[in-house]
Amino acid sequence: MGTTASQLDTLRLLEYEELTFLTKQEILHAYQRFDELVPKEVKNRLDYRISMNDVLTLPELKANPFNERICKVFSTSDIKDGSLDFDDFLDLLSAFSDSATLDIKSHYAFRIFDFDDDEKLGRRDLEKLVNCLTGGKDDAKLTPEERKQLVQNILEEADIDGDGSLNFFEFKLVISRSPDFVSSFKIEL
């Protein structure tokens, strides 16, 4: 715990509490988990970027079908490699915490599901989303026709402006009608 005390001084800890939906204990626990992934010889541990592959060794992310997208969305790396520094890691945990608002959860869910990063959920994004939710990338349990029909049903239900995709407003409207969304959109370390 000596490293935790030296890296997370009181001022920084207070700042993290103000900027996230996490408690002091959750931040300290997050640091401990982050620190386990940092090579011991690294001096400035908070700024160290953990590779996406190393982050995905955490059991809480390993089993998540959106694990790579989650890392890429929360990574502030200039090369968009999905690596995370401690601030990125805290942002991820904060957005997935029970205390995060529906607005925050909706914002990040939309970004995670927007696989092509074009700020809308088009047919291809929705097909990938359905694949992730029904069994994987290429070996989905639904037939191609069933996936196509499901995507069509989603668009018919939620595509208010009829442009063949969901913008953030349309997505948020769908989410607001799903009471289980907030409680299911979480990662706990």
Phi, psi angles (nearest 5°) of residue 96: -95, 5
Which residue's entry shows tokens 């907030």? Answer: 182
Instruction: Specify whether 50 is located in the same domain as 126.
Output: no
Q: How far apart are the first and last CA of the chain?
A: 17
Domain boundary among 28, 60, 95: 95
Q: Which of 95, 121, 149 is the last residue of a domain?
A: 95
Q: Are residues 55 and 127 in the same domain?
A: no
Q: Using only C-alpha atoms, what is the Rg of the chain? A: 18
Choose one of 95, 118, 143: the last residue of a domain.
95
Given a cut of 80, whether residue 6 has pLDDT beyond it is: no
- List the CATH number of the domain containing 24: 1.10.238.10
Cα 120 off chain centre by? 17
Of residues 180 and 151, more confidently modeled: 151
Residue 24 has pLDDT above 70, yes or no: yes
| Predicted confidence band of residue 2 (pLDDT cuts 50, 70, 90) | very low
2: in domain: no
Is residue 3's pLDDT more than 70? no
Task: Find the domain containing 138 and state its range.
Answer: 102-184
In this prediction the pTM is 0.89
Number of domains present in the structure of the chain: 2
pLDDT at 21: 97
